[in-house]
Structure formats: C-alpha cells, structure tokens
Chain A
Amino acid sequence: MTTKYFIEKKSKLIFRIIKDKVFAAFLLLLAVIAVIPLFFILYYLAKQGIASINIEFFLQLPRPVGETGGGISNALIGTFLLILFSVLFSFPIGVLTGVYLSENREGKISSAAKLSIDILQGIPSIVIGIIAYIWLVKPFGRFSGFSGSFALALLMIPIIAKSTEETLKMIPYSLKEASYALGIPYYRTILKVILPTGTSGILTGLLLGIARVAGETATLLFTAFGNPFMNLNIFKPVNSIPLMIFNYATSPYPEWHKLAWGASFVLVIFILTLNLVSKWILKKFQIKF
C-alpha cells in the first residue's frame, strides 16, 4: 500500500519531539516554582521560631509589654481545651452520620445529609464564627471557650463524617453477611464488626479534623476571643495558639513578634505531625480487601 496522505517531513518530526520535551520541562519548572514559597516559609519559620523557643516558652505566661521573655503556656492549654471539647462535640455525631451514610446510600435523608456535609465543609470559617457568636456568645453575654469549641466542632463534623463514610464503604458486604449469618443483630454487627474494621480510617479522619482546626483563627476571633491569662474554665474566654499569633503578630512590639514566631513554629510542627501520623496509621493499619 502506498502512503497517500500521511506525509511527514523529518524536520517536522524533530519539531514535534522538541515540543514534547519542552512542554514536559516547562511543566516541571512550573511545579518546582510552585513549591518554592513553601521553602521560604519553612526556612523563615525555622529560623525565627527556633530562636525564640526554650523551656520558658512552654511553661510561662506572656509578659506585659516592655519585659523580655515569657511564654505561651496559656495558649497551649487553651488550644488543648478547645480541641478536646470540639472533639467531644463533633466525633459522635460525625461518626454516626458517616455510618448512616454508608449504610443508606440512597434515600432522601442520605442525599440531604450528603449535600449538607458538602455545604458545611465549604462554609468559610468566619461565617461559622458568626453562627457560634449568635448561638452561644450573645445569649450568655460573654465570649467563651465553649462557643469556640462548638464552632470548631462544626468545622470537624464534615471531615469526620466523610472519612467514616468512605472507610466503611470500602468494607465488603460479605463481612456483614458473615456476621448476620452467625445470628448477630444489626446494631452489634455495626458496633462490633464494621466499626472496629474501620477504626484506622475513622481515626485518620479524626486526626485530619484536629489538624484542620488546630490552626483555625477566624472562627475563634469572636467566640473563644483570647485571654492573656491562664484559664481552665471553658465558659470564659480562652486563649489559643493561632489567636495568640494573630494578636502578637499585629502588635507593634518586637518581643511579642518573637513569641508569635515561636508559636507559629510549634503550631506548624504540631499540624504536620498530625498529618504524618494520620498517614502512617492509614498505611500501617489499613485492612485491604
């Protein structure tokens, strides 16, 4: 058969090869440029952060303007409290909703809940802050760690529900059937067979949720509000690391900036650790089907 139409000059072929290579190089270049800011940020954080961290930094309270030294112990405790309570609020409802969604893949309630989760996940955190303010700050007449935890919980629910749903969906139906065949009722099957099988996935969701809210600031501006003193009462204003960073970073005092860099460094390390641990759990304990 003689080639009639498919005529290609050698030069054109070379041009195509060059175009292919240049395109790939260009993509790689852009990808590399895109991650450069990360190195700048990490470098700056490490440089400024490590310089301001010592034992005092973790154990002491912030000092008034003009005095050097001081620490962020109140913010550390505050963040711990806020996260603890937000987990208490969000974990049960998140997991149960996730179980419901994985068990009922169709139906009105399911699709409504799925839509709600998507919307909830997309709501800007500042708007969640407004809601927590209207629901839990205004009626009681004061800012509180409680309202802050509630706001953070609203941010965590979709993350936990989704990861639960997705984890449980992966579990094959045969496992459930096997359990029914043994005469084990539905709720015990879920509680004793399905949920334990999905533990690693659910735990990962929880850790990712915590990582998501640990750095959350906007929601806390008018809920937890911040507090320069140590406070363990969840119904009073509570400080948190991100709030502290915000207040100190926007202050005019270099001493406070130093504390804010240290706190930023600690916060980033904390969040990255959570991400790594959740990944590790997922890899290590995931049961493959």
Chain B
Amino acid sequence: MDFEKISDKVLIVEDFSASYGSKEVLSNINAYFLRNKVTAIMGPSGCGKTTLIRCINRLHELTEDTKVKGDIYLDYQNVFYMNPMILRRKIGMVFQRPNPFPTMSIYENVLAGYRLNGIKLTRREKEEIVENSLLKAGLWEEVKDCLHKKGNFLSGGQQQRLCIARALAVEPEILLLDEPTSALDPKASAKIEELIGELKETVTIIMVTHNIAQAARISDYTAFIYLGELIEFGLSEKLFTTPEDKRTEEYLTGKFG
C-alpha cells in the first residue's frame, strides 16, 4: 500500500493495542495517516473507533484503568515520549456532542486554547485569530455580530462549528473528529461535511463515522475496524467499490453493524 511519498505520513500507528482493565478493545493496529488528507474510520458500534482516536492524542490517559501497547508516531516522533500538553495542542479534537465552554463567550471559546495554555496575545492578534478561525469553520458570517455573547443560544450545528473553530485556533497539524455530525440534523451535517473538504487544505483530518455514505463522500482514505481489529485500510474509492475482505463487504452492504 505505497500510495504516497513516505514523508507524507504525518501519523503512524504501529502494533498498537489498547485495553480497559482486562478487556482488550484494540488489538495490534497498524495504520498511517497522510498529510492533508481526510481519513475516515468506520466500523460497527463498540468496535473501538473512539478508543483509537482518543489514544492518538493520549486523551485515553484521562480515563482510569486504560492500558496501551505499541507506538504512535507524529512526524516520526513517538507520541508517548512527548509531553501530552504539546501533543494535544498539535492534535486537535472535536467530539460527538458539541461542547462549547458554557462559561465563556463565543470570542473566548475560540481563544480558549490560548487562555488554557497561558499564552498572552495582543488585542489585535486575538481579533485576527478569532476572525480567521471562525472563517475557516464557516461560522464568521453568522456570529460576527454577537461574538461576546455566550455560545449556548447557537444551534447544534453552529455549536459544533464553534468547537471546530476552537480546535483550529491553536493551529493543530491533525484534527480528530469523533462522529461530529451524529448529533446534528441533515442540513447541519451537510454544512460540516462541506467544511471538512475545505479544511484539508491546511490540516490532516481523521474522522470517525458511522455513516457509510458520509465516509464515501468526503474521505480520501478509509479504515474499517471490526471487533478491535483493523480489517481493511486503503483508498476510499477502492474500499467502497471493491473491498478485499469479506467482513468489509458485509458491513458495507448492511449485513451487520
């Protein structure tokens, strides 16, 4: 599977396993993710998709009793030797349910990454970051007149785009999205899908999704996970049309999951 130049592998997952307590939920995953591409992670519920992307930015360490084996490399640096504060800043994350900080205004939400990391900015810089990030997230036009209001009056889709803006504001290399549209209506989902297509110009995107059609629409590469194992991984066009593994085919044709 040598699709691209080796230097474009921004993230490499090597012999990676993860478990909660004594229950292994990911076993021996080997995969890589290419720069400025959208990679979809697909699979039936409970197969370990969320676990995988939470391990990529080491968010799993916040859950008690999790153990991992194997390595993950970001730009050929082992993430488990990096400081998690730096790592997580470089790998942004957007969650299934929109979760803007309710104690902060829209403006403060976008700048939350800087405030949390204790980085001082001038007013000019702040305004530039807020505008750029909201523009990238396609939210600027809708909220530019109420930047200093709390974000809770926004619709679900707008809140999710605010979360994307918040993640983009700290200029991550990779953006992890965990079923970002599953809590949204079709129109808001379409908007986010469109956004993802634009975002890959500047950031590598790894997205978990349940929705096969969505994965086919927007991803360049697709990984199919089943019962904690990576069954198939490759160009989306190929995986969706001529899957190699029988289980992938069964999943795509709705036989399970």
Interface residues of A (CB under 8 A from B): 1, 3-8, 12-13, 16-17
Contacts and interface: CB of A to CB of B under 8 A. Distances in A.
B125 interface: yes
Best-surrounded residue of A1, A4, A6 (most CB of chain B within 10 A): A6
Nearest to A19: B118
A6 B128 CA distance: 13
A1 B202 contact: yes
A17 B89 contact: no
A16 B114 CA distance: 13
Interface string B129-156: 1000000000000000000000000000
Contacts of A16: 85, 117-118
Nearest to A1: B202
B119 A8 contact: yes
B84 to A, nearest CB: 10
Given A13-B83, A16-B85, A6 B114 contact: yes
Interface residues of B, number: 17
Contact of A4 (B86, B89, B117, B171): B171
B247 to A, nearest CB: 36
Contacts of A4: 171
Interface of B: 83, 85-86, 89, 113-114, 117-119, 121, 125, 129, 170-171, 173, 202-203
B86 A13 contact: yes
A111 to B, nearest CB: 28
Nearest to B203: A1
Contacts of A8: 117, 119
Contacts of B117: 6, 8, 16
A8 B117 CA distance: 9
12 contacts: A1-B202, A4-B171, A5-B114, A5-B125, A5-B171, A6-B113, A6-B114, A6-B119, A12-B118, A13-B86, A16-B117, A17-B85
A3 B129 CA distance: 12
Given A1-B202, A1-B203, A16-B118, A6 B83 contact: no
A17 B82 CA distance: 13
Contacts of A5: 114, 119, 121, 125, 129, 171
Nearest to B202: A1
A104 B203 CA distance: 55
Contacts of A1: 171, 173, 202-203
Given A5-B171, A6-B170, 12 more contacts: A1-B202, A5-B114, A5-B119, A5-B129, A6-B119, A7-B119, A8-B119, A12-B118, A13-B85, A16-B118, A17-B83, A17-B85
B75 to A, nearest CB: 13
Nearest to A4: B171
B162 to A, nearest CB: 19
Best-surrounded residue of B86, B113, B171 (most CB of chain A within 10 A): B171
A36 B99 CA distance: 40
A12 B114 CA distance: 13
A6 B117 CA distance: 9
A12 B86 CA distance: 12
A120 B119 CA distance: 50
A179 B249 CA distance: 48
Best-surrounded residue of A3, A5, A8 (most CB of chain B within 10 A): A5
Contacts of B86: 13
A13 B170 CA distance: 16
